[in-house]
Structures are given as C-alpha cells and as structure tokens.
Amino acid sequence: MTVDESKLDSIIDKHDVEEGSLIPILQDIQTEYSYLPKEALEHVSQRLNIPMVQIFGVATFFKAFSLKPKGKNQIHVCMGTACHVRGAKNVLENLERELGIKAGDTTDDGEYTLETVNCVGACALGPVVVNNEKHHGQMTPIKVESLLSTKPV
C-alpha cells in the first residue's frame, strides 16, 4: 500500500509533534486507512524521532490497533465464559466456514474481518456476536447465515 505522506503530515501536525502524541496520531492514521500501514509507521517514526520498535510496541499492545487491513464489516465473536458455555465456539466455527477465513483474518474481497474478543459485557445475551458495533444476542450457528445476509455497510 502506498501512503500519502502529505496526509500523514497533516495528521501529525494536528497533534503536538512529540512522543506523548503517538497514540492519538496512530488512532487518526487507523481511522484514515482502517489499519496501521508499515509505511505510515515509518513516517511517524521519522517525524517524531521515535524508534520503530517503540511504535510497534504501542501498536501491538493496544487491541484497538491493527497492523493488518480490516474488512468493511467487522464481526466480533464473544468468547467470554458465559458465551463460551452457551455455544460461542460453534457460532465461531460456522462463521469461519461461511466466510472461508479463520478468526483474525479478513476475506480476500475485503468485505469481512472476523475476530474473537474476551467479553462484550452482555453476558445475559450470550452467545453474542457484534457485527459493526451492533450486538446480536442468543446467536446460534443457524442464525449466522441471516447475520451475514444483512450487510450493514
């Protein structure tokens, strides 16, 4: 991917050009590109005079950041205890089968990213699948097809 350095400079300039601005800068870059391209991180490293290893440390520490492109539709399957005991594993397996990807991957067409999360805070509704921030409770493997047929984007 080619990043637009002038766009990156605009993002960086909007924040104080100092080490403490790294997280908001990375957030804005991720908003712009849907992930953190390596070229963008290298540019930030040069502009802020921060070693790449430190930038990668921040980018990999926070789950909100991604070093891989994300799909237009992001599906998160809760694997917390309440969801797990109610069949979240079977829901996840069916989503993987229907999308043709494993958790953590994005479909080749860039349409879907499938991820697992530890808890979404809706234990009474488990198993829960979050599709583009919309919670779907009491999910079953059978309901997966209808979830995928209603593309919210």
Continuous segment of H or E residues that includes residue 116: strand 112-117
Residues of the chain with CATH 3.40.30.10: 73-149
- Listed in order, the ranges of the chain carrying CATH 1.10.10 are 5-61
pLDDT average, residue stretch 15-25: 82
| One-letter identity of residue 9 | D
Task: Tell me the pLDDT band of 153, cut-offs 50, 70 and 90.
Answer: very low
Backbone angles phi, psi at 17, to 5 degrees: -80, 80
| pLDDT band at residue 133 using 50, 70 and 90 as cut-offs | confident
Q: Could you tell me the sign of the dihedral formed by the alpha carbons of 103, 140, 97, 100, in that order?
A: negative
Q: Is the pLDDT of residue 2 over 90?
A: no
Residue 18: pLDDT above 70? no
> CATH classification of 73-149 is 1.20.120.1200, yes or no?
no
User: Strand, coil or helix: what is 2?
Assistant: coil
Q: How confident is the model at residue 1 (pLDDT cuts 50, 70, 90)?
A: low
Please provide the CATH number assigned to the domain covering 5-61.
1.10.10
Predicted TM-score (pTM) of the model is 0.74
pLDDT at 149: 80
pLDDT tens for each residue of 52-93: 999 999 999 988 899 998 898 999 999 999 999 999 999 999
* Predicted pLDDT of residue 19: 63
Using pLDDT thresholds of 50, 70 and 90, give the confidence band for residue 143: very high
Residue 142 has pLDDT above 60, yes or no: yes
Longest CA span, the chain = 52
147 vs 53, more confident: 53
Which of 148 and 101 is assigned the larger pLDDT?
Answer: 101
